[in-house]
Amino acid sequence: MARQSDESQNPIGRWEVQLRKGVLEFVILLSLSGREQYGFELISGIAKRAAIDVPEGTLYPLMLRLAKDGLISSRLADGDGGAPRKYYALTAQGRDLLRRMIPSWSKLAASVDSLLPGACA
Amino acid sequence: MIPAFTDPAARRRWDAYFSEVDRLLTRADADVAELRGDLEAHVVDSMATASGGSERERLDAALSRLGRPIDYLRPLLADELIERGTQTYSPITIARGLAHSVMAGSRRAVLGLTFGLGYLLLAIFTAMALLKPLWGEHVGVFRYADGTISAGIIAQSNGSRELLGWWSIPIALLLAALLYVALTKGLRTLKQRR
């Protein structure tokens, strides 16, 4: 919480929060493209690998929306300790959307990179 | 999926957090209400992977990373209630959704409306000061025969008595200036906080 309020105090922190929120949907779909994952595994993986540092609770409503839109599905299966866990996976529709999102992202990232100081025109 | 807490303070903290979740999800449909179980499982996993610290500290850290329920559930509830309300033509559900929407993501809209009304009031005070010399008998504070009082630019002022006279001009200018300073400072403070 202290980290979040620090971020909201300075312009770069606020910008980063907005930027991260904007790509969350894409990052969730990307993370699930390899294999199905349970909630905590997915979210902690995103935090570690993609440095998407948003409140973890933000991701559950987003996953619910992705499920309603038919982009991801969930199923209950036994976890490590025997307690059932909800595993999320990409649906065919989600996989198709992700396939189309990747070139859009690459194009956007390349065009922004080309504007950075020192980039070749 | 409530963990078997050994520390009563940790249990109280858990109960308080999920009471807030329950309060927010009371009127949500089954899909959304399922979130409670997802969040509980998340906190249990998050505590299990934490190294060191007391039970209470690990729970505090897990809940802190999860965020405040009101922050992440309110936008979802707003969408859900508005969607359900528009499907069932229920004005109460729509109003509830809009209320959540206003309190969550549309804070700017409320602020915009408030400041808009403030600037409208400022324009009225300025117009009063400018119009008083030209249209004196219709600008000011009027008391009617039945005791009612009206203030501003009044088209029908027959049968009323103007109370302020030329004082309307400095008073309107003073109020406009005070309002202008207050609104500008308010906007500046908001901009710095964002």
Containing structural domain, residue A95: 2-115
Neighbours of A6 (CB within 10 A): 10
Say if A120 falls within a structural domain: no
Neighbours of B80 (CB within 10 A): 24
| B71 and B133 belong to one structural domain | no
| B43 and B95 belong to one structural domain | yes
Cβ separation A61–B72 shorter than 8 A: yes
Say if A37 falls within a structural domain: yes
Question: How many domains is chain A partitioned into structurally?
Answer: 1
Residues of chain B with C-beta less than 8 angstroms from the C-beta of A44: 46, 49
Say if A121 falls within a structural domain: no
Q: Which residues contact A89 (CB under 8 A, 6 or more apart)?
A: A32, A35, A36, A72, A73, A74, A75
Q: Which residues contact A84 (CB under 8 A, 6 or more apart)?
A: A76, A77, A78
Residue pair B150/B190 in contact (Cβ under 8 Å)? The answer is no
More confident site: A98 or B190: A98
C-alpha radius of gyration, chain B, whole number: 27
Say if B51 falls within a structural domain: yes
| B97 and B130 belong to one structural domain | no
**Comparing C-alpha atoms, which of B22, B61, B67 is closest to residue B45?**
B61
| B20 and B98 belong to one structural domain | yes
Distance CA B125, CA B154 (A): 13
Rounded mean pLDDT of A55-78?
89
| B42 and B84 belong to one structural domain | yes
Boundary-marking domain end, from B43, B77, B103: B103
Q: Supply the CATH number for residue A86's domain.
A: 1.10.10.10
Q: Which stretches within A1-121 are classed as H helix?
A: 2-9, 11-32, 39-50, 59-68, 92-115
Boundary-marking domain end, from B49, B75, B103: B103
Residue B141 parent element (H or E): strand B139-144
- Report the range of poorest mean pLDDT among A25-34, A105-114, B27-36: B27-36
Position A77 pLDDT exceeds 60: yes
Neighbours of B22 (CB within 10 A): 13
Residues of chain A with C-beta less than 8 angstroms from the C-beta of B46: 40, 44, 56
Distance CA B105, CA B82 (A): 14
Q: Using CA coordinates, name the residue in chain A closest to B46.
A: A40
**Distance of residue B121 Cα from the nearest chain A Cα, in angstroms:** 32
Say if A32 falls within a structural domain: yes
Question: How many domains is chain B partitioned into structurally?
Answer: 2
* Residue in B1, B41, B65 closest to A39 by CB: B41
Give the per-residue pLDDT at A81: 64
ipTM: 0.78
Say if B2 falls within a structural domain: no
Cβ separation B65–A38 shorter than 8 A: no
Give the per-residue pLDDT at B97: 76
Say if A107 falls within a structural domain: yes
Q: Using CA coordinates, name the residue in chain A closest to B77.
A: A61
Boundary-marking domain end, from B54, B84, B103: B103
Containing structural domain, residue B118: 107-193
Distance CA B153, CA B151 (A): 7
* Tens digits of residue pLDDT in B49-95: 887 888 999 999 999 999 999 888 888 888 787 777 777 777 777 77
Distance CA B119, CA B13 (A): 45
Say if A102 falls within a structural domain: yes
